[in-house]
Structure 1
Amino acid sequence: MRIGVNGRTLVSNITGLGRYVIEMCRALAKAGHQIIIYLPSPPANALPDLEDIEFRVGRANDAVMRNIWAQTVLPLWAKRDKVDVFWGPAHRLPFFLDRHIARIVTIHDLVWHDMAATMRWQTWMADRWLMKPGVAIADEIVADSAATANALKAQFPGCGEKLNVIYPGLTIIGGAVTSRDLSQFGIDRPYILFVGTLEPRKNLLRLMQAYASLPESTRKQFLLVLAGGQGWRLGDLKQHVAELRIESSVRLTGYVSDNDLALLYSQARCLAMPSLYEGFGFPIIEANAMGIPVLTSNTSSMPEVAGKAGILVDPNDVQSIRDGLESLATDNALHARLVEHTRLNSARFDWTESALQLERIFEKAIAKRRYGV
């Protein structure tokens, strides 16, 4: 198949959505398909090596122009390239694709509907206005968790017949983990790790409050390490840390490279991810792949992703998060039981299998558009 892909999530720093696009395209290309990724503008940073994948790069250098480009230039390029199927891997599709081109959209979450207050207003507006038509015109829809699929059926009742659940795969972060120490981050003892963009949906303020309420002896034994780039609407995290009087026990690493992230995962006591909402939650399985159990939330997709390799807490209840942290930090028998499940859990998620399932959806969409079946 000739597969066209909207690559807008690859323009900025690569986060979960960008990694999803890269790995799925890589697996599809290895399966023998011709992949053409359309970028609205040159990427801010060099992309990983993607063999046998073509790129088309536009000159839309701001958010407004990128949205215009996606509805005007992009469908013309897809028609010129005679793609068999066009894939919108992040919530949106061009409205005016050539009628011969099958079209599939992947929906990762409905944050715009369920957690609007946690989003940048520009992203909220774009998802609110562009997701609905994308779902409507798609020949097939992919959700990357059962929780997201159920949310889609509730929000768009007519989409059920063309809705499919395909879990993403697991990307092994970084290269071989070295024996380097963590002094570059000020880490000098065991630690509880958070990984993600520092933004409201990640529930960082409650996580810090829960950590601050732990016994002093536990905080002296285990640091709280927050690894991620600065997001929005959180104010000054250092000020929050100071107000909670936990400066000596908290480390802020900022955005880290994949190699440093692998190092942080490999030596953590556990991953703490009590998000208010996640469409999937890549850090859960990234940590599991390194034998690290997780504390995560009992909402949205997180229970189905964590499986038996973590404990679930109420993300709106500081006491619940605190109790979970204390259990993972101090109950060695519980920690050992969870560790036994970590790698088995992460093994459920494989990019080759995910791409094979997506390939079948593409074939189904092409047949539907060409032959009405």
Structure 2
Amino acid sequence: MRVALDVSILHAPRTGIGEYALQLGRALQKSPELELALFDGLRWRDDFPAAPQPGYGKLSQAVKAILPNAYRVRRQLMQRRFDSGAKRLRPQVYHQPSLWPLRFDGPTVMTLHDLTHVHYPETQPSDRLRAIEHYLPTALQQASRILVDSQFIADEVTLHYGVPRSKLQIAPLGVAPRFHPRSEEQLRIRLAAHQLQMHSYYLCLGTLEPRKNLDLAIAAYLTLPDRIRHRMPLLIIGARGWRQEQLTKIPHRAQAHGQIRLLGYEDENCVAELLAGAHALLFPSRYEGFGLPVLEAMASGTPVIASDCGAIPEVAEKAALYMDPDDIDGCRSQMLALLNDDSLQATLREQGQQRARQFSWERCAQITVDTYRTAGHF
């Protein structure tokens, strides 16, 4: 079965959907049933883009500032390149793993990761929101099958868009091999480079945008006693997102003393190592269709303090501590509870690893292959 897989999102800084496209694509390449043809938005290729393009985000912003209809113009260009290659390669199924597909004469599979644009439209740039509202309803209607990451999203898609449940297929995400428990010695170089001690810092991981609710994590952290903040800094790792300037309101004193550290976008190995060495992952997101960092933290043997929203409880079940995303005191209480209870730490580390073992990219890929087969009636 020859499948066209769109990997254009891999040109952008790697976030959750980019990780999905890459890890799923690699797992699909191992399937003896498939022959993958990769489309990167400009050309067809046999391999995945090796790394995000430098300045990709800045270039996109510059183009959108000059060209009001940048999304539509870019799609028109992509469509021409896609059509040219599709005529030559003749794929039997086309899969778009990041929102709305291009036009294709054969069976189309798309992945819908969340409905952020519906519930939190204010967290989306206006041009992107207009594009989603323009393309997505038609894409959902025309797609042969729709993959979703969780039961939570399947229910939302049916409720909001009226998509028949029979058209949806839940394919839970997996966790990459780089996320696993590590010893202090294994992390010695990385921790020393950041002047950190093993299990003696909190970590926030995610794109710097309002939906991730990082302001609450910062506010809760700042309520901790100074003696705790002095020895337990808060690290924030993530690419710049829309309205990320909100995070510049961090008190100067906290940054000057190294208590709160904005590391920006870090490469995947740095993220995996710092996640494995953290005391806890703070994940107060207001809305998630899956919550991949939660799974990655659990696989790394790192306790998770997360909001009780969206699909997060479905993914973590009893292997995390939960909080209301609007409750600063609740977040602080969970941080203190974990800090003061060695037994709770050990339990969450063990339960998290057990839960994470139930997810894999191989399983996600097999469900996806089955969905291709169903979509194409093979």
TM-score using structure 1 length: 0.87
How far apart are 1:70 and its partner, in Å?
Answer: 3.8
| CA deviation vs aligned residue, 1:110-167 (integer Å, no higher than 9, x gap) | 1111111112223222222222111100111110111111110111113322111110
Kindly report which structure 2 residues correspond to 1:258-337, keeping only aligned pairs within 5 A, or say none: 258-337=268-347
Task: Check the 8 A contact 1:214/1:322 in 2, yes or no.
Answer: yes
Residue 49 (structure 2) pairs with residue 47 (structure 1): yes
1:179 match: 188
Tell me by how many angstroms 1:203 deviates: 0.4
Number of aligned residue pairs:
353
In 1, Cα distance between the equivalents of 2:43 and 2:235?
33
Counterpart amino acid of residue 213 in structure 1: T
Give the gaps of 5 or more residues in structure 2. 52-58, 64-69
The corresponding residue for 1:9 is: 9
In the aligned structure 2, how far is the partner of 1:18 from the partner of 1:10? 6
* Paired residues of 1:229 and 1:255 also in contact (CA < 8 A): yes
- 1:35 maps to 36
- Structure 2 CA distance, aligned partners of 1:229 and 1:188? 24
Pair 134,2 (structure 1): closer, same or farther in 2 beyond 3 Å: same
Q: CA deviation at 1:331?
A: 2.2
Q: Which residue is 2:108 aligned to? A: 103
- Is the CA contact 1:174–1:259 (under 8 Å) kept in the aligned structure 2? no
Task: For 1:247 and 1:203, locate their aligned partners in 2 and report how far apart those are by CA, in whole Å.
Answer: 23
Q: Which amino acid aligns with 1:180?
A: I
Unaligned runs of 5+ in 1: 50-59
Aligned to 1:87: 95
- Alignment-mate amino acid for residue 49 of structure 2: L
* CA offsets 1:56-81 (integer angstroms, 9 cap, x no match): xxxx9855332223444424432432
Other structure's SS at 1:229 match: coil
Q: Quick one: structure 1 residues 283 and 158, their matched pair in 2 at CA, closer, same or farther if it must change by over 3 Å?
A: closer
Matched, 1:68 2:76: yes
1:174 offset after TM fit, Å? 7.4
2:205 maps to what in 1?
A: 195
Return closer, same or farther for 1:299/1:48 CA change in 2, 3 Å cut-off: same
Compute the RMSD of aligned alpha carbons.
Answer: 2.5
Determine which of 131, 136, 144 is the counterpart of 2:136: 131
Normalized against structure 2, the TM-score is what? 0.86
Any idea what SS the aligned residue of 1:211 has? helix
Return the alpha-carbon distance in structure 1 between the equivalents of residues 239 and 350 of structure 2.
Answer: 31
Confirm or deny that 1:356 pairs with 2:363. no
Task: Note the alpha carbon deviations across 1:69-124, whole angstroms, 9 max, x for none.
Answer: 34444244324321110001111112x421xx111111000111111111222322
Task: Report the residue type matching 1:113 in the other structure.
Answer: V
Give the match for residue 152 of structure 1.
157
CA distance in 1, matches of 2:79, 2:39: 12
Equivalent position of 1:56 in the other structure? none
The letter of the residue matching 2:247 is L
Deviates more, 1:212-221 or 1:157-166: 212-221
- State which drifts further: 352-361 or 32-41: 32-41
CA-to-aligned-CA distance 1:207-245 (integer Å, 9 cap, x gap):
111111122333233211111222221326343233878
Asked if the contact 2:187/2:277 (under 8 Å) is kept, the reply is: no
